[in-house]
Amino acid sequence: MASRQTEGRGRRYESIVDTIGDTPVIRINRIGPKNATIYVKFEAFNPAASVKDRLAISIIEAAEKDGRLKPGQTVVEATSGNTGIGLAMVCAAKGYPLVITMADSFSIERRRLMRFLGAKVVLTPRAEKAVGMYKKAVELAKKNDWFLASQFETPDNADIHEATTAREILADFKGERLDYFVTGYGTGGTVSGVSRVLRKERPDTKIILTEPDNAALIASGVAQSRTDSHAPDSGHPAWAPHPIQGWTPDFIPYVLQEAIDGHYYDDLLPVAGADGIAWSKRLAAEEGILTGVSGGSTFAVSMKVAETAPEGSVILCMLPDTGERYLSTPLFDGIPEEMTDEEEALSKSTPGFQM
């Protein structure tokens, strides 16, 4: 009999959306620091493989409840990919048409996944950045009377992380040390929502926020200009192109502003995109954890935190998604499609070799 056994989850699910959340916390064993223990909260275990599944179900169900979203109404949203994929999954399960606007600089597999899930994807010029795709979504919503998901402004964003992500962390570390919580930001929902809870119930846990070193919007100290509806009315002057897809659009989201104004984080650390790529590759090859550039970047910062952390510290690192979202990006540069010389030599080393 196998030493590993499973017994099921003890329940049956009425819909794919009921499987969102309760993602595992996993210890890092082979590449972790000697003086500290790093755990990762691996959001790829969500049904559409990213943390944004939580946001997607929160937006749709809150809008259903208060009547903002009507039966059969089209949903529209601007996204770099993961929110769109999550929304496509939720809308498919609930029967809502979905239109996504997305800059054409983001990975091809993301737009194909959304279309595969039934969404329509309207691409905007990369030169217009995130603000451009955002404005296109607003225009389409107004013209067609569609429901605008508003992930960057809606309170439904941080609320779901307060209600689920934070509660899962408390449960998983109940009675145990948790010295640091490390996360990046896209919309800001994770840091704002989780920090609301940790500040109250685990006040000794230091919250570390990170952003790209060449797009350090928060660190710049420059305020984001906004419209009356809290939307960005222009790009942020500190933004520059970076390879960490899903992180740090060219404006400071309103959802994130809560964490900034409330001083929810104890330190703000920059990270280079190249470091995020390097650590993502190491997590895959040496820990078997397949995460994207954003996860690699958060892990890079967690390793940096460990360098000065007290002996025995426990660090929890957010991994937002799966590495399969990045097959056409620099993350997979150098990964060959054909056999390498070493692999070909292995093939030829046994009698069964055939050309």
Looking at the fold, whether 98 and 244 belong to one and the same domain comes out as: no
Give the integer Cα–Cα distance in Å for 307 and 247.
Answer: 24
Instruction: Let me know if residue 288 belongs to a domain.
Output: yes
Looking at the fold, whether 296 and 197 belong to one and the same domain comes out as: yes
pLDDT of residue 107: 83
Domain holding 307, by residue range, is 16-50+164-332
Is 304 marked active-site? no
Looking at the fold, whether 33 and 172 belong to one and the same domain comes out as: yes
Q: Assign residue 97 the CATH number of its domain.
A: 3.40.50.1100
pLDDT of residue 184: 98
Looking at the fold, whether 137 and 203 belong to one and the same domain comes out as: no
Catalytic residue among 58, 80, 192, 294: 294
Instruction: Let me know if residue 59 belongs to a domain.
Output: yes
Looking at the fold, whether 36 and 60 belong to one and the same domain comes out as: no
Looking at the fold, whether 307 and 203 belong to one and the same domain comes out as: yes
Is 143 marked active-site? no
Give the integer Cα–Cα distance in Å for 293 and 307.
Answer: 21
Helix (H) or strand (E) holding 39: strand 36-42
Domain boundary among 148, 176, 209: 148
Instruction: Let me know if residue 26 belongs to a domain.
Output: yes
Looking at the fold, whether 124 and 186 belong to one and the same domain comes out as: no
Instruction: Let me know if residue 346 belongs to a domain.
Output: no
Instruction: Let me know if residue 155 belongs to a domain.
Output: no
pLDDT lower than 50: segments of the chain: none
By the 10 Å C-beta count (0-12 exposed, 13-18 middle, 19+ buried), 6 is classed as exposed
Instruction: Let me know if residue 186 belongs to a domain.
Output: yes
Instruction: Let me know if residue 353 belongs to a domain.
Output: no
Structure tokens at 321: 């998604």
Closest CA to 299 of 284, 281, 314, 279: 279
Looking at the fold, whether 174 and 86 belong to one and the same domain comes out as: no
Instruction: Let me know if residue 351 belongs to a domain.
Output: no
Looking at the fold, whether 178 and 31 belong to one and the same domain comes out as: yes
Helix (H) or strand (E) holding 212: strand 206-212
Looking at the fold, whether 87 and 46 belong to one and the same domain comes out as: no
Domain boundary among 83, 118, 148: 148
pLDDT of residue 355: 57
Strand order in the sheet with 25-27: 25-27, 36-42, 313-319, 180-183, 206-212, 267-271
Question: How many other C-beta atoms lie within 10 A of the C-beta of residue 269?
Answer: 18
DSSP string covering 101-134, please?
Answer: EEETTS-HHHHHHHHHTT-EEEEE-GGGHHHHHH
pLDDT of residue 354: 63
Looking at the fold, whether 105 and 239 belong to one and the same domain comes out as: no
pLDDT of residue 156: 97
Catalytic residue among 41, 52, 206, 304: 52
Count the domains in the chain: 2
Q: Are strands 120-124 and 147-148 parallel, antiparallel or unpaired?
A: unpaired
Give the integer Cα–Cα distance in Å for 182 and 301.
Answer: 8
Q: Are strands 313-319 and 36-42 parallel, antiparallel or unpaired?
A: parallel
Q: How many percent of the chain have pLDDT more than 70?
A: 99
Looking at the fold, whether 34 and 64 belong to one and the same domain comes out as: no
